[in-house]
A = this chain, B = another copy of it.
Amino acid sequence: MNSIVRDMDLKDEGLQKIEWVRRHMPLLDALEARFVKEQPFAGLRVALSIHLEAKTARLALLLKAGGADMHVTGSNPLSTQDAIAAALASQGVRVCAYHAATPEEYHAHLTQTLSCKPHIVVDDGGDLVHILHEERHDLAECVLGGCEETTTGVLRLRARARESKLNFPMVCVNDAMMKYLFDNRYGTGQSVWDGIMRTTNLIVAGTTVVVAGYGWCGKGVAMRAKGLGAQVIVTEVDPVRAVEAVMDGFDVMPMDDAAELGDLFITVTGCNDVIVERHFEKMKEGALLCNAGHFDVEVAVEKLKRFADSHAPARANIEGYRLPNGRTVYLIAQGRLVNLAAGDGHPAEIMDISFALQALCAEYVARHAQSLPRGEVREVPREIDAQVARMKLESLGLSIDALTEKQAQYLASWAGE
């Protein structure tokens, strides 16, 4: 089975990028040292679909070093980097992906990747799992289980499990503390702003930024907006999170009110139709729109296209939409994940943590395949969380306190003072 990539000549550029991130992913290095010896994935085929840039390539190479037969594709046509695909293909990994694939091509890449009949699936957003359940049961016959990276994917898995439509165990990497507290918050927080700033060359300080959604990703995006000097308006549907946003010093209101106040809108909800026609219509001349949620449905791009009188490129990766009211709003990166479609995704050190979880959870699936109940959406074992945290502290050269025996007794006791 051959790789399907855009241009193998790009491999050297890709290898350099992979080498760069490798140097900043010490947890994966530490795991590789062990995996090379223990070969936890010997004899196993792994299908992996994650945004195909340098950090993902590093993960694939780690699993390969652990004995896996790796089959890799992206998880969004715009986030795949052709140089990385080429580089990875040059290292003995089978890759089916290229940048700006059409929806049909993208879907074909997913299926081609699954055609290895994987033992383990590493999914990001749930597309691999979807195909294995809805379209190609035949490719699922060897599946022992898998891991899911995102909030969106976990929502889909839980929906599926509720209807008893999940046929193998999936570990929710997203729900590990070492994932959502870090990747979602600090990773998204930084990479979204990296993407926005480089794409727009506009000031953040003094502007009004509307962040839709105050989950961990939204918290990170709002925190960094404040750190860059913006005023932040948060929109939410969950009252507890809404009060949290108030106490964090942000304005809270419905999108209907925020629409006319924002200079820049960032959706990060996991939900569709967060910004629709009646919001576009109220926006200020020149308002900027982007999305940091998994799918490009949060800003309702199709509705925007139909609603606008015309649209035209305004700067690289920015499209201006002229509305019937004569005003123009600008959409960044076609409403796709702004940190990946207008940037390089999360910083390497963040993905080092997330992918250490992925690697350990994949190992967990490999080692406990027999004992995991089929069809279960499984939490990451707490010990894996703690192990990754300890590895991270070690990589930073930090040590922390340990409870003495007496302190442990005190904490476990009901006697009080």
- A interface residue numbers (CB < 8 A to B): 16-17, 19-21, 23-24, 54, 125-127, 130, 155-157, 159-160, 163, 165, 177-178, 181-182, 185-187, 189-190, 193-194, 197-198, 201-206, 224, 226-231, 235-240, 242-244, 246-255, 270-273, 286, 295-297, 313-315, 318, 343-345, 347-350, 353, 385-386, 389-390, 392-393, 396, 398-404, 406-407, 410-417
**Is the pair B414, A156 in contact by a Cβ cutoff of 8 Å?**
yes
**Is the pair A295, B190 in contact by a Cβ cutoff of 8 Å?**
no
A238, A243, A295 — most chain B CB neighbours (10 Å)? A243
**Is the pair A159, B231 in contact by a Cβ cutoff of 8 Å?**
no
State A244–B401 Cα separation when bound (angstroms): 15
State A229–B404 Cα separation when bound (angstroms): 32
**Is the pair A16, B416 in contact by a Cβ cutoff of 8 Å?**
no
Instruction: With both chains docked as a complex, state the minimum distance between the C-beta of A411 and any C-beta of chain B, in angstroms.
Output: 6
Q: A190-B228, A251-B231 are in contact. Are A239 and B400 (CB under 8 A)?
A: yes
Contacts of A177 in B (CB 8 A): 240
Contacts of A198 in B (CB 8 A): 194, 197-198, 343-344
A17, A244, A400 — most chain B CB neighbours (10 Å)? A400
Q: Which 9 A-B pairs have the closest CB atoms?
A: A227-B227, A239-B389, A203-B347, A160-B414, A159-B414, A194-B197, A201-B344, A156-B414, A203-B349
**Is the pair B205, A249 in contact by a Cβ cutoff of 8 Å?**
yes
Instruction: With both chains docked as a complex, state the minimum distance between the C-beta of A348 and any C-beta of chain B, in angstroms.
Output: 6
State A286–B386 Cα separation when bound (angstroms): 27
Contacts of A230 in B (CB 8 A): 249
Contacts of A239 in B (CB 8 A): 386, 389-390, 392-393, 400
| Smallest CB gap from A285: residue in B | B23
State A248–B406 Cα separation when bound (angstroms): 30
Instruction: With both chains docked as a complex, state the minimum distance between the C-beta of A309 and any C-beta of chain B, in angstroms.
Output: 18
Instruction: With both chains docked as a complex, state the minimum distance between the C-beta of A313 and any C-beta of chain B, in angstroms.
Output: 7
Q: A163-B414, A407-B271 are in contact. Are A347 and B224 (CB under 8 A)?
A: no
Instruction: List 11 contacting pairs A-B, 8 Å CB cutoff, sorted by A.
Output: A16-B314, A178-B240, A189-B205, A190-B229, A197-B197, A206-B246, A206-B247, A229-B249, A237-B403, A272-B407, A297-B410
**Is the pair B249, A399 in contact by a Cβ cutoff of 8 Å?**
no
State A203–B125 Cα separation when bound (angstroms): 24
Q: A231-B249, A389-B242, A414-B157 are in contact. Are A237 and B186 (CB under 8 A)?
A: no
**Additional A-B contacts beyond A197-B198, A242-B400, A252-B398 (9; CB < 8 A):** A16-B315, A24-B286, A130-B416, A178-B243, A203-B350, A205-B248, A239-B393, A242-B398, A254-B399
Contacts of A390 in B (CB 8 A): 239
Contacts of A414 in B (CB 8 A): 126, 130, 156-157, 159-160, 163, 165
Contacts of A126 in B (CB 8 A): 414, 416
State A348–B288 Cα separation when bound (angstroms): 15
